[in-house]
Chain A
Amino acid sequence: MTAQVFAFIPHANSRIDDAAPELAAAARQLAPGAPVTALVAGDGAGVEAVCAEAGRFFPEVWKFAAAELAYPNAELLRPLLSRVLPRGAIVLFSHNTLAMDLGPGLAVKLDAAYLPDIVAFEAPEGQVLRAVRQEFNGQVSTHVACDLSGGAVITLRAGCFAASEPLAAAGRVVDRSADAQGLAARRRFLEVVPAEVGDVDITKEEVLVSVGRGIGDKENLPVAEDLAEALGAVVSCSRPVVDAKWLDKSRQVGTSGKTVKPKVYLALGISGSFQHMGGIKGNPFIVAVNKNPKAPIFQVAQVGVVADVLEFAPVLAEAVRKAR
C-alpha cells in the first residue's frame, strides 16, 4: 500500500473526540508503516488546541483554520477536502452524523470508493481491502471487498477499533489554512437547537424499564409503566417508539437520543441495535425480554427471557410487588 492515508478528526469544545485515537490505530492497521495525516478544521483558539491534541496520535496534522469552519458544515468541508486531498487518498472518518453528511458526496467528488460504517477490516492484500459491515440493523454481517487503488472514503463505527496509544514524539502541525479560504456553500448553518427536556430526566435514573417496537402499540404502554412503578423505575424507550409518537423524544435512549447510566436496564421488546446500545453507558446490569431468541440484545444483556413482553411483564410486576 502506497496510498496516502488521512484521518478527519472529529472534535467539539476544543477537544478531540474519543474516536480520534481509534482512527489513528485503524489507519496504522490499514497501511502499516505509511505516514498518516490528521485533518483538523475549525476556527480560533479551539482549532489550535485540537491540532496539538491530534499531534499526540498522528505524526502530521494539517490545520485548516477559517471563520467559516467554526461549525462543521459538510457543504463547506466537502469542497475543502476535495481541494486538498491528493488523488488516490484514503480518508478515514468516524461514522457520526457529520461523516454521514459529508462522506458519500466526498467519495463522488474524489472519484473514490465509499465504505460506510465499517466495524472491522483485515490487513489489505495488495490493493484490495476486505472489511466487515452490518446490514438489517445488525441482524447480519457482510464481508465487502474494495479496490483501494482509486482511493477510498471509509467511515468507522466508534468503539470497534482499539484506541491508539500516544506517539513517543508529538506530530508536526502544518498550517494549511490558506487552502481553506474562499469556501462557499449553498447551505448555511444557523444554530443547534438542544434536545428538549422532558418531564423526567432518564439520564439520572438508576433503574430504567425501556420499551421497544416489541411492545406493539401505544395502548400497551401501561404494561411497562406498571412494571416501572413496581420497581420504582422510570420508562424509557428505543427509537421506533418515539418515531411512532408513543413516547416523548426525551425518553429515547441511544446515539440520537439520551445517554443513560443506570445500574439496571430492563429492555422490553428492544432488538438492541448499536445505535440504541450506544446510549447505554456505565456497564449496567441488562435484562432483555424479547420473543425473538436471535435478537442482538441477547448478546449484550447479562440475563435474557425469551417471551412476549405483554405476557411476561405483568408476571414480573406481580413478583416484584410480592417481594416488597
Chain B
Amino acid sequence: MNILVCVKRVPDTAENEIEVRPDGTDIRREDLVYSVNEWDNYAVEEAIQIAERTGGTVTVATVGDADAEEVVRREMAMGAQQGLMLTDPAFEGSDGRGVAEILKAAVQRGRYDLVLCGAQADDGAGQVGGMLAALLDWPYASLVNRIEVLEGQRLRIGREIEGGNQEVSEIELPCVLSIQTGINEPRYVGIRGIRKVASVEIPALGASELGLDPSRVGRAACRVRKLDYFVPPAGAGAEILQGSPEEIAARLVDLLKAKGGLK
C-alpha cells in the first residue's frame, strides 16, 4: 500500500510556554522550540507499520517554507522512504481550505491508496484531513485510533468517540484518515537515524509544478481570517499558596480536611 502522510512543523507545547506578542499580531516565536505536530508523528508511525505489514511506500509531505524541511527529514528518519516539500510564496497565509487544496494537488500527482493526517495541529481546528477528503471525493474518518488492513481494498478502523468509546467501521480505499494520538507508540529517532537521511534529496514542488491556480491558495483566498492573538482576561482563578513547601503542605492538609479529601 502506498501511503502519503501530511505533517506540519509546529511550536512544541511540551517545550514552550506560548505567549502573545505585545502588539497581538502573533505569538512570540523568537525562542520557540519547533517539532513535528504530535498527532502527525503518530500518523507517520502508523503508516510505517502498515507498509511494513503490507508492502508499499510511505511518503511524508508538508506545506511550508524551508524551515519545515527538518520535520520531513525527521519523519523520514523514522522509516518513511520519501519526502515532499510543498513550497511556494503563493502558499503563505493559507487557511485550512487552502492547505487542503495544495495537498489535493500533491495527492493527485502520486498514486496513493491511503492518506493520513494528524487529527489536529497547533490551531486545534482539525480541518485539513476532512477538507482534503471532500476535495478528492474520497471517504474520510477522523480521530482514528485503530487500523486493520482487510482483503479487497478495505480497512477496518476504530474512531475514538465520546467517553473513550470506539466506533468501528469499514472504509474503502482510497481514503483519508485523521489519526488520534495513542494509536501506537511512535519509534524513537536517534542522531544516527537523522544522519542517515541528512543528505537525501527532498523534492520541492510549487504552485506551477502542482498545477495549482494560485488564487485558490494563500492569504488572499482565506475565508477565515485571523485578526489577532490574545489571552482572555483571567478570572478570579486559584488562590496561589505561598511559603515554603512544608508551609504550603500544612495549609493544604487543613483545606483537604475541610473539603473531605482527608478522612
Residue of chain A at shortest CB distance from B127: A104
A198 CB, nearest partner CB in chain B, Å: 11
Select A104's contact among B96, B122, B124, B245, beta carbons within 8 Å. B96
**In the assembled complex, which residues on chain A have CB atoms less than 8 Å from the CB atom of B122?**
135-136
C-alpha spacing A246/B219, complex, angstroms: 42
Does A299 lie at the interface of the complex (its beta carbon under 8 Å from any beta carbon of B)? yes
Interface size class of B (residues with CB under 8 A): 35 or more
Which of B57-65, B188-196, B254-262 is the contact stretch?
A: B254-262
Does B172 lie at the interface of the complex (its beta carbon under 8 Å from any beta carbon of A)? yes
A260 CB, nearest partner CB in chain B, Å: 12
Which of A31-39, A58-66, A94-102, A174-182 is the contact stretch?
A: A94-102
Flag if A143 contacts B227 (CB, 8 Å).
yes
Flag if A141 contacts B230 (CB, 8 Å).
yes
Flag if B185 contacts A245 (CB, 8 Å).
yes
Within 78-103 of A, Cβ neighbours of B (below 8 Å) are at 78, 96-98, 100-103
B185 CB, nearest partner CB in chain A, Å: 6
Flag if A188 contacts B249 (CB, 8 Å).
no
Which of B47-55, B71-79, B135-143 is the contact stretch?
A: B135-143
**In the assembled complex, which residues on chain A have CB atoms less than 8 Å from the CB atom of B218?**
none
Interface size class of A (residues with CB under 8 A): 35 or more
Residue of chain A at shortest CB distance from B155: A187
Flag if B261 contacts A97 (CB, 8 Å).
no
Does A11 lie at the interface of the complex (its beta carbon under 8 Å from any beta carbon of B)? no
Flag if A100 contacts B142 (CB, 8 Å).
yes
A272 CB, nearest partner CB in chain B, Å: 10
**In the assembled complex, which residues on chain A have CB atoms less than 8 Å from the CB atom of B224?**
113-115, 144-146
Residue of chain B at shortest CB distance from A185: B139
Does B22 lie at the interface of the complex (its beta carbon under 8 Å from any beta carbon of A)? no
Interface string of B221-262 (1 = CB under 8 A from A): 001111111111011011111000110111011011101111
Within 234-267 of A, Cβ neighbours of B (below 8 Å) are at 239-240, 242-243, 245, 249, 252, 255-259, 263-264, 266
Flag if A147 contacts B229 (CB, 8 Å).
no
Flag if A190 contacts B130 (CB, 8 Å).
no
Does A133 lie at the interface of the complex (its beta carbon under 8 Å from any beta carbon of B)? yes
Residue of chain B at shortest CB distance from A17: B162
**In the assembled complex, which residues on chain A have CB atoms less than 8 Å from the CB atom of B17?**
139, 292, 294
**In the assembled complex, which residues on chain A have CB atoms less than 8 Å from the CB atom of B161?**
97-98, 192
C-alpha spacing A150/B221, complex, angstroms: 13
Select B239's contact among A185, A249, A258, A304, beta carbons within 8 Å. A304
Flag if B130 contacts A186 (CB, 8 Å).
no
Flag if A104 contacts B130 (CB, 8 Å).
yes
Flag if B223 contacts A140 (CB, 8 Å).
no
Does B108 lie at the interface of the complex (its beta carbon under 8 Å from any beta carbon of A)? no
C-alpha spacing A264/B255, complex, angstroms: 10
Select B181's contact among A78, A100, A239, beta carbons within 8 Å. A239
B263 CB, nearest partner CB in chain A, Å: 7
Flag if A231 contacts B262 (CB, 8 Å).
yes
Which of B1-9, B80-88, B163-171, B204-212 is the contact stretch?
A: B163-171
B217 CB, nearest partner CB in chain A, Å: 14
Flag if A194 contacts B165 (CB, 8 Å).
yes
Does A318 lie at the interface of the complex (its beta carbon under 8 Å from any beta carbon of B)? yes
Residue of chain B at shortest CB distance from A114: B127
**In the assembled complex, which residues on chain B have CB atoms less than 8 Å from the CB atom of A100?**
119, 126, 130, 142-143
C-alpha spacing A195/B165, complex, angstroms: 5
**In the assembled complex, which residues on chain A have CB atoms less than 8 Å from the CB atom of B237?**
298-299, 301, 304
Does B118 lie at the interface of the complex (its beta carbon under 8 Å from any beta carbon of A)? no
Select B130's contact among A96, A101, A297, beta carbons within 8 Å. A101
Flag if B249 contacts A252 (CB, 8 Å).
no
**In the assembled complex, which residues on chain A have CB atoms less than 8 Å from the CB atom of B185?**
245
Does A49 lie at the interface of the complex (its beta carbon under 8 Å from any beta carbon of B)? no
- Could you list which residues of chain A lie within 8 angstroms of chain B, going by C-beta atoms? 73-75, 78, 96-98, 100-109, 113-117, 130, 133-137, 139-147, 150, 185-195, 206-207, 213, 231-233, 239-240, 242-243, 245, 249, 252, 255-259, 263-264, 266, 285-288, 292-294, 297-307, 311-312, 315-316, 318-320, 323-324
Pairs A–B under 8 Å by Cβ, sample size 9: A75-B139, A97-B159, A104-B126, A140-B20, A186-B175, A232-B263, A243-B182, A287-B256, A312-B248
3 nearest A-B pairs in the assembled complex, by CB-CB distance: A104-B130, A264-B261, A304-B238
- Could you list which residues of chain B lie within 8 angstroms of chain A, going by C-beta atoms? 11, 13-14, 17-20, 27, 96-97, 100, 119, 122-131, 133-135, 138-143, 156, 158-172, 175, 181-182, 185, 223-232, 234-235, 237-241, 245-246, 248-250, 252-253, 255-257, 259-263
Given A187-B175, A305-B252, A307-B248, 11 other A-B contacts at CB below 8 A?
Answer: A73-B169, A97-B162, A102-B130, A133-B123, A142-B226, A189-B167, A231-B256, A249-B182, A305-B240, A305-B241, A320-B253
